[in-house]
Amino acid sequence: MLDPMRWYWQIGLVAALFAGDVCAQQQRTRIEVPLFEGGAGLEFYDYVSRAYEEERPDVEVDFYGDPRIVDKVRVRILEGSFPEVSNAGLNYWSLIRNGEIRPLDDFLDGPNWEGDRTWRESFMPGSLDRYEYEGKTYGIPLFYSVYAVWYNKNMFAEHGWQTPRTWHEFFALCELIREADIWPLAFQGRYPGYIGSVIDNAYYHLAGPERYYEQKELAPGSFDNPEFVEALRLVQRTGQDYFQPGALGMSHTESQLEFFLGHTAMVFCGSWLKSEMLGKIPDGFRLGAFNFPITEPTKADPNAINSGSGYFFVFKNSGNPEIGVDFLRFMTSREMAGTFAEMRDILVAVDGAMEGRTTEDMQDLVEMAQRATTSYGTAPGEGFPEMDQPLNDVRFKIVNGEITPAQAAKKLESAAAAVRNRGANPDRITVRHVWKPALLLGLLGLAMAFWLYTTFRQWREKQAGEATRPSGKVRLSWLGVILFVGPAAIFYTLFVIVPSLKSFVWSSMRWDGLTDMTFVGLLHFQRLLFESDEFWIALSNNLFIMFMIPLCVLPLSLFLAVCISREVIGAKIFRIAFFFPNILGGVAATLLWMHLYNPQGGPVNTVLVALGLEGFAGFAWLAQDNLYWALVPMSIWGAAGFNMILFLAAMESIPSSVYEAADIDGASPWRQFWSITIPLIWEVLSISIVFMVIGGMKAFEVIWLLTNQTPTTDNHVIGTRMVQAMFAEFKVGEATAIAVLLFLMVFFGTTATLRAMKREAVEF
């Protein structure tokens, strides 16, 4: 028999140990580390977090990652709730100037983790230069992002090709590759930013470092000059003559896979290339890299490397910034950085960490980084966020051959002047549009007046007892309203109505989410309506979706619904094939179409070429100049099924006796459709049209996905422009003004449409 006292003693001991463990957990200092989940993955960060916790048992590292972590961290910054450490692609210069990032010099001048040198001396030459401001250092590099030209070593050895040093040698090499019936370069065309490093390289060597950095500060004349025009000419020739067909419609992984499959000889990319493509590289593939070609003579160090992302920052106003710095010291120790280099076969910025830790594929890039005594380039968040859009536009149009280098230089010079002028006089508005805002405001006014008039008329009819009341209407008691409607109403008010009302207030403020708000009244609305070309281009794209898609979808949906209701052969197949996208969901369906539209080997181009349409070989459907027409078949496939089911349900509710009577009277199927079917399903048809109007005005995710979150100005819709203004340019007031305009257009547009299409109900 068990001794009761002994049993109680054992329970008490277990409880005490458990309580002690809980107390120990509560006493641990927690630091938060949100990270970008890119080609390097998150495996190393989990490893280093657990290793640091072993070194510092009093610290808990709460790290988490996401490919879109930047959006989450931006929200945290806007609400003033800062993590300790992050590498999310934010506008760090704005945060640095506002004092939100902790300077690290007192730690950098102290010992590194090993204690054999200062922490500053632990990094490769030039790697700490990127984020220096007023003599202080703010960014710590780990992953050394170096841009280069990657090449297929096996292919080069087979044909006896030599790596080039100058642009002249590079073009000669490309011609040799073309003669071998191979395309020289794959390119990530749906990311126009990839060509930015090539343009930077050419201008850096043509104009010299001083003028290069003057351009980054938007100095007058730094774009419209002979050297920059020549840099654009070199890049345009590269894109027009040597990019693989369809490159402008490819994502980064699609184009890089083309390179690894041997369909091209080279690709422009950063040092993450191999890490990002692990698992997709064929066995026996030998990877090589060489620096971007230089001009001859050059005005810069020929061994300079173009570097960019991979920096970590400590937020000054977080809970434990000093522990965050200590975590970075540990992460950039030679052992940890070397482990990272070995795990992902990638470059790191810690001196001596890569010795014997990387494979032969990375050797060329390692030697390139070790030879370099300086670096140049633009890291995420550097410069002027408002210039990102004009730069993105010009990069695409240069590679596409849509504009000349001289025109592109003038366009960027004009954009830089506009950014400077707005910074000097933020309240000034240049009127560029008159009739467009007059028309929009007039239509909104008419819609509002029509809505008020019909609302008042309905109220009068209800008071006079003339309005028809729905039969079977259920009346709830006050207790029923409180129990069944109250909770939903409270949550809806807190999470929808209150934030919506607050957005009306924010739309009258100038605010970047960091500094104090400044009241500007209707300035943002005036700028959007009378000055902004981007807003009107975005609105025109919304109108294209709103009108073009219904013109295609509604007739097809009606036709399919009629066919199924009349039980034609294959009706069940129609049901499944056209309703399938609604099961998939919008994002999954979009990803499927991205595969179908692949320029090289995608089913769409393959079928068209098989039909004898040779012009579609390598056609870039998802290139930004073809995007909206590519949306039409996507939208038909995605929307026709839902509307087909909607119309079919309405048609099947019509008594068959109505059609039998029409047959006896000699009405043809066409006459029955127009005289019976359409009137009796008119209410459902009206609702479908309103859904499409709302969908067209609220279009966002498809454009955002298909442009890889970097649409050109010509491809923005109002939703993407709003997100860019809010999260890329930190213009909270302007973004909320866009949201208010969108709300007004959707609300009054849809209510006016519904009431204009309203007809007296047909009884049957």
String of DSSP letters for 529-587: III-HHHHHHHHHHHHHHHHHHHHHHHHHHHHHHHHHTT-TTHHHHHHHHHHHHHH-HH
Note if the bond before 297 is cis, omega within 30 degrees: yes
Instruction: Choose among 184, 243, 191, 164: nearest CA to 39.
Output: 191
* Measured distance CA(585)–CA(595) in Å, rounded: 16
Q: Are 163 and 288 in contact, with CB atoms under 8 Å apart?
A: yes
d(CA 642, CA 102): 53
Closest CA to 62 of 70, 71, 52: 52
306 DSSP β-pair partners: 147, 376
Give the CATH class of 531-756.
Answer: mainly alpha
pLDDT in tens, 77-111: 878 889 999 998 887 887 888 889 999 999 999 99
Residue 485: per-residue pLDDT: 84
123, 349 contact by CB (below 8 A): yes
Query: Is 3.40.190.10 the CATH number for 150-304+387-420?
Result: yes
| Pairwise pLDDT comparison (715 vs 590), residue with the higher score | 715
Whether the per-residue pLDDT at 359 is higher than 80: the answer is yes
- Whether the predicted pLDDT of 435 surpasses 90: yes
What's the pLDDT score for residue 469?
56
d(CA 90, CA 100): 12
Least confident piece of the model among 7-16, 188-197, 710-719: 7-16
Please tell me what DSSP assigns to residue 665. Answer: T
pLDDT for res 705: 85
- Of residues 474 and 413, the one with the higher pLDDT is 413
Same CATH fold, 531-756 and 150-304+387-420? no
As a whole-number percent, the residues of the chain with pLDDT over 70 amount to 93
Q: Residue 318: name the closest of 34, 22, 728, 726 by CA.
A: 34
Q: Up-side HSE of residue 108: CA atoms within 13 Å toward CB? A: 17
Residue 416 CA from chain centroid, whole number: 24
Spatial distance between the Cα atoms of 170 and 515, rounded to a whole number of angstroms: 48
Residue 763 has pLDDT above 80, yes or no: no
Q: How many Å apart are CA 490 and CA 481, to the nearest integer?
A: 12
Cβ count within 10 A of residue 68 = 11
Distinct helix (H) and strand (E) counts, the chain:
34, 15
Torsion of CA 96, 98, 102, 104, to 10 degrees: 50
Of 293-297, 570-574, 712-716, 728-732, the range with the lowest mean pLDDT is: 570-574
Distance CA 97, CA 385 (A): 14
State the DSSP string of 224-267: SSHHHHHHHHHHHHHHHHHBPTTGGG--HHHHHHHHHTTSEEEE
Which of 227-241, 268-282, 372-386 is predicted with the least confidence, judged by mean pLDDT? Answer: 372-386
> DSSP assignment, residue 312?
E
pLDDT at 39: 67
Q: How confident is the model at residue 13 (pLDDT cuts 50, 70, 90)?
A: very low
Amino acid letter for position 711? P
User: Tens digit of pLDDT for each residue in 616-673?
Assistant: 999 999 998 899 999 989 888 888 888 888 898 899 888 888 888 988 888 888 898 8
For the chain, the domains span: 6-144+310-376, 150-304+387-420, 531-756
Instruction: State yes or no: pLDDT of 225 exceeds 70.
Output: yes
Cα separation of 203 and 376, whole Å?
11
User: What confidence category does residue 21 fall into, taking pLDDT thresholds of 50, 70 and 90?
Assistant: very low
pLDDT exceeds 80 at position 410: yes
Q: What is the pLDDT of residues 287-296, one digit of tens each?
A: 999 999 999 8
The three-class DSSP label of residue 244 is coil
CATH annotation of 6-144+310-376:
3.40.190.10
Q: What is the mean pLDDT of the chain?
A: 88
Distance, CA of 284 to CA of 268 (rounded, Å): 21
% pLDDT > 90, the chain: 51
Asked if 146 contacts 306 with a C-beta cutoff of 8 angstroms, the reply is: yes
> Which whole number is the average pLDDT over 179-192?
94
d(CA 34, CA 137): 21
- At 749, the pLDDT band (50, 70, 90 cuts) reads confident
Question: In whole angstroms, what is the distance from residue 597 CA to residue 616 CA?
Answer: 11
Pick the more confident residue, 166 or 732. Answer: 166
CA neighbor of 704 nearest in space, from 611, 606, 586, 600: 586
Residue 749 CB contacts under 8 Å (≥ 6 apart), including other chains: 447, 693, 697
The C-alpha atoms of residue 349 and residue 142 are separated, in whole angstroms, by: 5
Query: At residue 2, does pLDDT exceed 50?
Result: no
- pTM attached to this predicted model: 0.85
Q: What is the average per-residue pLDDT within 681-689?
A: 89
For range 728-751, the mean pLDDT: 90
